[in-house]
């Protein structure tokens, strides 16, 4: 569906990308599981479906709705967020330098740790909340910048307009990991980003039952063509069934996200009043160092919170263990509340404080969540 019509996100999520051409006139789009498609009598024609790895009706529909949600021109869907990020790293030229934030999602960073040498590329990390340091970190061969705001697990806020402005003045391609903010709260393309990356396993899928990723591009340019080629030729693609289920989930995503924002704000404000809690990281709190920037670039502040316990590693683990409704698990963005002692998830090399809890606030009733928090915090 055309982005020129400027529909609101609730309407885009329900109608964008739908192809109403089924003979059955079904309202819910059919799941087309076929791996292959019959050739025309005149032979294969440009634009025809041929083989599901290359393209298929369910993936095309998913890519159209994701592109519309992020106000981009095009999208490539992948089988995981990491496969999507990998396609971006593999699209830079040999000899290039990539600039990433210090606290980039650890899986994305570990791709560079493991493969940058083999790919003959360099990378370095910088604190992107400090724009002077950020600008000074560019090299003459920096061709790609990855941004992530709010970051994981500290919920640090990067000024998108300024950071993208600096990157453009150095002619670098900018890719924003928008998994935490989601297109409900921020559209990085409106601030000049070239690419938006998603782990659709999180808020877009929203039910902790689909693994997926996507790259949305502002323009169908040469860089994006490389990503598209990697998608088709390396084959880390989602199945038609996953595409179908994900676009089904996306239809209710804006309403879920509205409630995630609302519950998380209330939980963050409650946590700030608790004696056992030393510090709450949530961009919607006035006490947050990124608050002013967050207000200027986010319509809501998201469903993710992290907080520090006034206690040690063991105290923190026991608080996490005491909750009855909030479940102990990694990942995020599902309808159910999840929290985790992040340091033990990341392992002993992790720099995350031992008294930090990362909380993905779900859609349970706020009163029940607050009662559960009281139970966990006040043993
Ligand atoms: C989960 C996540 C990823 C990785 O996505 P997968 O779908 O797990 O491969 C990347 N970035 C962020 C911010 C994430 O939360």
**Looking at 177, 242, 282, 358, which residue is catalytic?**
177
Q: Backbone phi, then psi, for 372, in 5-degree steps?
A: -65, -40
**Looking at 3, 53, 226, 276, which residue is catalytic?**
53
pLDDT of the chain, 379 residues: tens digit per residue: 444 568 999 999 999 988 776 678 888 999 999 999 999 899 888 889 999 999 999 999 999 999 999 999 999 999 999 999 999 999 999 999 999 999 899 899 999 999 999 999 999 999 999 999 999 999 999 999 999 999 988 999 999 999 999 999 999 999 999 999 999 999 999 999 999 999 999 999 999 999 999 999 999 999 999 999 999 999 999 999 999 999 999 999 999 999 999 999 999 999 999 999 999 999 999 999 999 999 999 999 999 999 999 999 999 999 999 999 999 999 999 999 999 999 888 887 788 899 999 999 999 999 999 999 999 999 7
Q: In what order do the strands lie in the sheet with 74-78?
A: 74-78, 213-217, 195-199, 173-177, 142-148, 97-101, 122-126
Output the pLDDT for position 24: 84
CA distance 312 to 307: 13
pTM to 2 decimals? Answer: 0.96
- Could you say which of 3.40.640.10, 3.40.50.620, 3.40.50.720, 3.40.30.10 is the CATH number of the domain covering 9-250? 3.40.640.10
**The residue to which tokens 């179908």 are assigned:** 244
Query: How far is the centre of ligand 1, averaged over its atoms, from the C-alpha of 332 (Å)?
Result: 9
**Looking at 71, 103, 105, 228, which residue is catalytic?**
105
**The residue to which tokens 């998108």 are assigned:** 160
Query: How far is the centre of ligand 1, averaged over its atoms, from the C-alpha of 236 (Å)?
Result: 15
Domain with CATH 3.90.1150.10 in the chain: 254-378
Domain with CATH 3.40.640.10 in the chain: 9-250
- Residues 6 or more apart from 85 whose CB is under 8 A from it? 107, 108, 111, 177, 197, 213
Annotate 115-141 with b (16+ C-beta within 10 A) or e (fewer). Answer: eeeebebbbeebebbeeeebeebbeee
Instruction: Decide whether any atom of ligand 1 lies within 6 Å of the 107 Cβ.
Output: yes
Output the pLDDT for position 6: 83
Q: Is 120 left (phi over 0), alpha (psi -120 to 50) or beta?
A: left
CA distance 249 to 253: 6
Residues in the chain: 379
Query: How far is the centre of ligand 1, averaged over its atoms, from the C-alpha of 139 (Å)?
Result: 27
Tell me the CATH architecture of domain 254-378.
Alpha-Beta Complex (3.90)
């Amino acid at each position: 569906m055309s982005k020129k019509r400027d529909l609101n996100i609730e309407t885009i999520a329900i109608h964008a990308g739908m192809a109403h051409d089924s003979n059955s006139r079904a309202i819910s789009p059919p799941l087309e599981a076929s791996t292959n498609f019959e050739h025309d009598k005149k032979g294969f024609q440009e634009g025809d479906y041929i083989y599901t790895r290359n393209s298929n009706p369910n993936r095309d529909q998913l890519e159209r709705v994701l592109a519309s949600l992020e106000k981009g021109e095009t999208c490539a869907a992948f089988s995981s967020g990491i496969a999507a990020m990998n396609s971006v790293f593999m699209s830079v030229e040999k000899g290039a330098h990539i600039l990433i934030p210090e606290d980039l999602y650890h899986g994305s960073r570990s791709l560079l740790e493991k493969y940058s040498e083999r790919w003959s590329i360099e990378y370095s990390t910088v604190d992107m909340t400090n724009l002077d340091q950020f600008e000074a970190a560019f090299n003459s061969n920096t061709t790609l910048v990855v941004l992530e705001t709010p970051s994981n697990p500290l919920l640090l806020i990067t000024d998108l307009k300024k950071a993208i402005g600096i990157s453009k003045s150095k002619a670098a391609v900018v890719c924003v990991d928008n998994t935490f903010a989601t297109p409900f709260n921020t559209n990085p393309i409106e601030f000049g980003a070239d690419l938006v990356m998603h782990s659709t396993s999180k808020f877009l899928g929203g039910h902790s039952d689909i693994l997926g990723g996507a790259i949305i591009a502002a323009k169908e340019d040469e860089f994006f063509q490389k990503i598209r080629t990697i998608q088709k030729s390396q084959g880390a693609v989602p199945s038609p069934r996953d595409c179908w289920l994900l676009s089904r989930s996306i239809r209710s995503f804006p309403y879920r996200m509205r409630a995630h924002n609302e519950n998380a704000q209330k939980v963050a404000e409650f946590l700030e009043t608790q004696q056992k809690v030393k510090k709450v990281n949530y961009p919607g709190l006035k006490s947050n160092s990124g608050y002013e920037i967050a207000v200027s670039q986010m319509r809501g502040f998201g469903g993710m919170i992290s907080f520090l316990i006034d206690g040690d590693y063991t105290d923190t683990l026991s608080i996490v263990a005491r909750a009855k409704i909030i479940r102990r698990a990694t990942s995020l963005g599902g309808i159910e509340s999840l929290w985790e002692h992040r340091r033990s998830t990341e392992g002993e090399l992790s720099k995350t404080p031992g008294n930090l809890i990362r909380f993905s606030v779900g859609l349970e009733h706020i009163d029940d969540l607050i009662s559960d928090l009281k139970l966990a915090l006040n043993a």
